[in-house]
C-alpha cells in the first residue's frame, strides 16, 4: 500500500494554524498525526471537535428540496437552482465566512458586493468591533513568535485559549520558551480575567474573577497606573487589581488576548475604546500589544479581504455584528459559507425563518444541521485537508494550507465561481 509521511503542514483547526503537524498517509488515508491537539485530530480525520470518538458526517454530493424531500442533483444543476433562489431574493445575507480558505472568502466577498449583500462573519461580535477601533486608533499587533520570544506579561481578558485556540498557551503565550523568556512560564506573569474559574486558573499567576464589569476593572487599572486610588474596583478584589496593575507597570512586553467576554454587555464598545487607550498608554513606556482571540481558523482572512479591497466603508454599511441581530423577513435568502448558522439562531429567529419562508443556501464540507435542512446544499472539499488554499493566523500572518487527502468534492471557491457564472452577474 502507498505509504507517505508529510511533515510540517498547517492544521486548519483554529486561529493558531499550527505549522508543525506531521501526517502519515497509507493508501491515501490519514493513519497517524503528530503534534496536533484533539481539536486538530477532529479536523484531519472527520471527528467531532469536542467528542473525538464521534464521526463528523461529510456530505457525498449536492442537494435540493422537492416537496420537502432532499434530492441529490449534479453540481451545475445545484448552482443553477441556487442562482434562481438568489435572483428571487429581496435581501441576501452571507453568514460564516471565517471557516473557509481565503480563495473562497475573496470570491464570496466579490459576489456579495455585486448582490449588495449583508455580510455576517461568524466571529463578527469580536473582530468587527476590533477593526472599527483599529480604523480609528491604529494597530497594536505583533506576531505570535514575538509573544513567545518577548512577552513577560500575558493577560487573557474574557478569553479562554483552551476553548478557542488550544495550543496557543503551549506554543506561544504561556509555557513556550522564547529568546528572552528562556524559562517559559517562570519568565512570565500571566493573568486570566474571566467570569468563572477556567483550566488556566490553576496555571496563571493570578485569576481575577468578576461579574461582567470589565469596564470597572479597566478604569481601576488605569487609575492605579496613574498613581491614584480608584473609587471602585467593581466586583474585583482590590488586591488582585493592584497586582495586575503592578505587573503592567513593570512589564517590558505586555500581550493582551481579548475574547468575546467583555463585549456581551452594552458596554462592549466603550470597553474596547478604553482598552485601546490603555494599550496606547502602556506603549509609551514598554511594548504592549492587543490581539483579538478569534477561534475560527481563517477569521482574519475575511477581514484582510475587506481591507485589501480598500473599501472599508463596507464596515459601516454591509457588516452585521452578530447573527442574533438578524430579524428574518419575507424575501430573505441566507448563504452560509462554512458555517452551521441555524445552530446559532435564537428560537424566535428560527420560528420567524419558517413563517417568513426564508431560503437558505449552504456551502459546507460537513453535514451540519443547516446543510441538511437548507434549500440548496452545495458540498465542498476541506481547505487545508483536501485542497490547497491560504489562511491568516490570528495574528494576521498569512500561511499556506496544503491538501493532503484526495478530494471527493470540488473546492468551495470553485463552487462559488460556478454560482457566479450561473447568476450571470
- Contacts with ligand SF4, residue ranges (CB under 6 A): 11, 13-14, 16-18, 36-37, 39-40, 165-167
**Cβ count near 3 (within 10 Å):** 9
- The whole-angstrom separation of Cα 48 and Cα 29 is 18
Q: Which residue number, 86 or 168, has a Cβ lying nearer to ligand SF4?
A: 168
Q: Which residue number, 98 or 377, has a Cβ lying nearer to ligand SF4?
A: 98
Q: Shortest Cβ distance from residue 173 to ligand SF4 (Å)?
A: 12
Q: Shortest Cβ distance from residue 277 to ligand SF4 (Å)?
A: 31
Beta strand 189-194 pairing with 153-157: parallel
Q: Shortest Cβ distance from residue 375 to ligand SF4 (Å)?
A: 32
Q: Which residue number, 34 or 226, has a Cβ lying nearer to ligand SF4?
A: 34
Q: Which residue number, 192 or 293, has a Cβ lying nearer to ligand SF4?
A: 293
- The whole-angstrom separation of Cα 410 and Cα 59 is 12
Q: Shortest Cβ distance from residue 401 to ligand SF4 (Å)?
A: 11
Question: What one-character DSSP code corresponds to residue 158?
Answer: S
CB 224 within 8 A of CB 124: no
Q: Which residue number, 40 or 261, has a Cβ lying nearer to ligand SF4?
A: 40
Q: Shortest Cβ distance from residue 422 to ligand SF4 (Å)?
A: 35
- The whole-angstrom separation of Cα 124 and Cα 130 is 9
Q: Which residue number, 107 or 393, has a Cβ lying nearer to ligand SF4?
A: 393
Q: Shortest Cβ distance from residue 100 to ligand SF4 (Å)?
A: 15
Q: Which residue number, 15 or 262, has a Cβ lying nearer to ligand SF4?
A: 15
What SS3 class is residue 207? strand
Question: Could you give phi then psi for residue 78, rounded to 5 degrees?
Answer: -65, -40
Q: Taking CB positions, which residue lies at the least distance from ligand SF4?
A: 13
Q: Shortest Cβ distance from residue 40 to ligand SF4 (Å)?
A: 3
Task: Report angle CA 251, 256, 258 to the nearest 5 degrees.
Answer: 165
CB 391 within 8 A of CB 301: yes
CB 332 within 8 A of CB 93: yes
3-state DSSP helix/strand/coil percent for the chain, to nearest 5? 40, 20, 40
Question: What one-character DSSP code corresponds to residue 213?
Answer: -
Q: Shortest Cβ distance from residue 337 to ligand SF4 (Å)?
A: 20
Question: Could you give phi then psi for residue 96, rounded to 5 degrees?
Answer: 105, -105
Q: Which residue number, 63 or 366, has a Cβ lying nearer to ligand SF4?
A: 366
Q: Shortest Cβ distance from residue 294 to ligand SF4 (Å)?
A: 12
CB 220 within 8 A of CB 234: yes
- The whole-angstrom separation of Cα 187 and Cα 181 is 5
Q: Which residue number, 251 or 384, has a Cβ lying nearer to ligand SF4?
A: 384
CB 235 within 8 A of CB 291: no
Q: Which residue in this structure is represented by grid cell 477593526?
A: 131
Q: Which residue in this structure is represented by grid cell 507517505?
A: 4
- Name which of 148, 105, 144, 176 is nearest 397 in CA terms: 144
Amino acid at each position: 500500500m502507498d505509504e507517505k509521511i508529510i511533515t510540517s503542514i498547517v492544521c486548519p483547526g483554529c486561529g493558531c494554524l499550527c505549522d508543525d503537524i506531521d501526517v502519515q498517509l497509507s493508501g491515501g488515508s490519514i493513519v497517524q498525526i503528530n503534534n496536533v491537539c484533539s481539536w486538530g485530530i477532529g479536523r484531519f480525520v472527520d471527528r467531532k471537535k469536542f467528542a473525538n470518538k464521534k464521526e463528523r458526517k461529510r456530505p457525498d454530493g449536492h442537494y435540493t428540496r422537492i416537496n420537502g424531500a432532499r434530492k441529490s442533483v449534479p453540481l451545475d444543476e445545484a448552482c443553477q437552482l441556487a442562482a434562481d433562489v438568489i435572483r428571487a431574493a429581496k435581501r441576501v445575507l452571507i453568514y460564516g465566512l471565517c471557516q473557509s480558505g481565503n480563495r473562497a472568502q475573496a470570491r464570496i466577498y466579490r459576489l456579495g458586493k455585486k448582490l449588495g449583500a449583508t455580510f455576517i462573519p461568524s466571529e463578527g461580535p469580536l473582530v468587527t468591533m476590533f477593526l472599527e477601533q483599529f480604523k480609528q486608533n491604529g494597530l497594536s499587533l505583533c506576531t505570535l513568535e514575538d509573544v513567545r520570544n518577548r512577552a513577560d506579561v500575558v493577560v487573557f481578558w474574557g478569553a479562554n485559549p483552551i476553548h478557542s485556540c488550544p495550543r496557543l498557551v503551549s506554543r506561544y503565550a504561556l509555557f513556550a520558551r522564547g529568546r528572552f523568556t528562556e524559562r517559559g512560564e517562570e519568565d512570565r506573569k500571566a493573568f486570566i480575567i474571566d467570569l468563572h474559574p477556567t483550566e488556566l486558573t490553576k496555571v496563571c499567576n493570578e485569576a481575577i474573577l468578576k461579574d461582567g464589569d470589565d469596564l470597572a476593572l479597566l478604569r481601576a487599572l488605569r487609575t492605579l497606573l496613574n498613581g491614584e486610588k480608584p473609587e471602585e474596583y467593581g466586583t474585583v478584589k482590590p488586591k488582585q487589581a493592584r497586582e495586575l496593575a503592578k505587573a503592567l507597570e513593570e512589564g517590558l512586553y505586555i500581550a493582551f488576548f481579548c475574547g468575546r467576554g467583555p463585549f456581551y454587555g452594552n458596554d462592549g464598545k466603550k470597553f474596547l475604546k478604553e482598552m485601546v487607550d490603555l494599550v496606547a498608554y502602556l506603549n509609551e513606556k514598554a511594548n504592549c500589544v492587543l490581539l483579538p482571540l478569534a477561534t475560527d481558523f481563517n477569521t482574519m482572512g475575511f477581514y484582510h479581504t475587506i481591507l485589501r479591497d480598500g473599501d472599508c466603508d463596507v464596515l459601516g454599511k454591509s457588516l452585521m455584528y452578530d447573527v442574533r441581530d438578524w430579524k428574518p423577513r419575507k424575501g430573505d435568502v441566507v448563504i452560509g459559507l462554512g458555517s452551521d448558522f441555524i445552530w446559532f439562531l435564537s428560537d424566535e429567529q428560527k420560528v420567524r425563518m419558517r413563517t417568513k419562508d426564508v431560503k437558505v443556501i449552504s456551502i459546507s464540507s460537513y453535514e451540519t444541521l443547516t446543510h441538511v435542512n437548507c434549500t440548496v446544499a452545495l458540498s465542498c472539499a476541506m481547505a487545508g485537508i483536501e485542497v490547497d488554499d491560504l489562511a491568516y493566523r490570528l495574528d494576521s500572518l498569512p500561511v499556506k494550507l496544503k491538501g493532503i487527502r484526495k478530494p471527493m468534492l470540488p473546492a468551495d471557491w470553485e463552487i462559488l465561481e460556478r454560482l457566479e457564472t450561473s447568476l450571470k452577474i
